[in-house]
Structure 1
């Protein structure tokens, strides 16, 4: 079973992201355990044993009213909570990924992070944010050694040597 934690300073945003993520990875039911926490005190014990720790960043549109008008900055209490969560993670030497962007972008990044930990056979087919299937880039394999970079390195080295030795087309044609 894959265990991951979703942490953040905004409980509303965190619960919405957790619900969307649960819905997005519904096909993996029984393989994933999701834990959420909105304060450093609520962090689950044994976070270092989790497969993935995600922290929701503070760029959500929360506004603090000031004398000059709305300022698109996180509320001071959210900054303090975020700082305390990051401090707790650093003190326990737990590595984590930070999710930024719109709600949809955060969900896509979280889903990619979860899917990257799954074995290839159990991963759902990758879909882009627009709903279409992502095309996997074609990888050239060397006929001799199956190294995808082998022929590329060879060709690049030959071209670099040719360009450094011969500067005119006549000199270049004599090399081959």
Structure 2
């Protein structure tokens, strides 16, 4: 069975990467994703990541620390660009930041696992009956979702007939 997807959270000091990691662990089903927080660059976890989330600079920061925070953020962005890693920036305070991160995860999961991600990453974090979001930790051959199989088969058949 393949390993669960890896989500890397990167951020300058004081941008809330650790708090977001903790919140995502509470939202996602156990074992559905590996979440790494500020593992450093370059690192094997970052290179193999399914998704890199970079923390935005919108959280309150003391004026005396702002220049250092901005410099650290610029270094992270430059390092990611240098190694050719794409990333998404997550903004928002509290529940909004969690919802934005889940939306980014949902977008990646939907393109990777179209039928299994549908509805699982909708942010309803205000609800007392939260449903745990899940990323499938297996590939198509173990999926057995008829809609997914039909889409895949139809797409493959269309590609084959279109090329002859």
Match of 1:8 among 8, 11, 14: 11
Alignment-derived partner of residue 98 in structure 2: 107
56-65 or 91-100: bigger deviation: 56-65
Alignment-derived partner of residue 33 in structure 1: 34
Alignment-derived partner of residue 24 in structure 2: 21
> Residues of 1 paired with 2:8 and 2:121: CA distance?
23
How big is the alpha-carbon RMSD for the aligned residues of Structure 1 and Structure 2? 2.6
> Residues of 1 paired with 2:68 and 2:104: CA distance?
28
1:100 deviation in Å? 1.0
SS of residue in 2 equivalent to 1:34: strand
Alignment-derived partner of residue 160 in structure 1: none
Match of 2:124 among 128, 133, 149: 128
SS of residue in 2 equivalent to 1:75: helix
1:36 deviation in Å? 1.0
Please give the TM-score of this superposition, normalised by the length of structure 1.
Answer: 0.59
Query: Which structure carries more strand by proportion?
Result: 1
Alpha-carbon spacing, 1:111–1:127, altered in 2? closer, same or farther (3 Å) = closer
1:12 deviation in Å? 6.8
> Residues of 1 paired with 2:72 and 2:79: CA distance?
10
Alignment-derived partner of residue 48 in structure 2: 49
Runs of 5+ consecutive residues of structure 1 not aligned to the other structure? 66-73, 134-176
Alpha-carbon spacing, 1:17–1:122, altered in 2? closer, same or farther (3 Å) = same
Please give the TM-score of this superposition, normalised by the length of structure 2.
Answer: 0.63
Relative contact order (C-alpha < 8 Å, sep 6+): which is higher?
Answer: 2
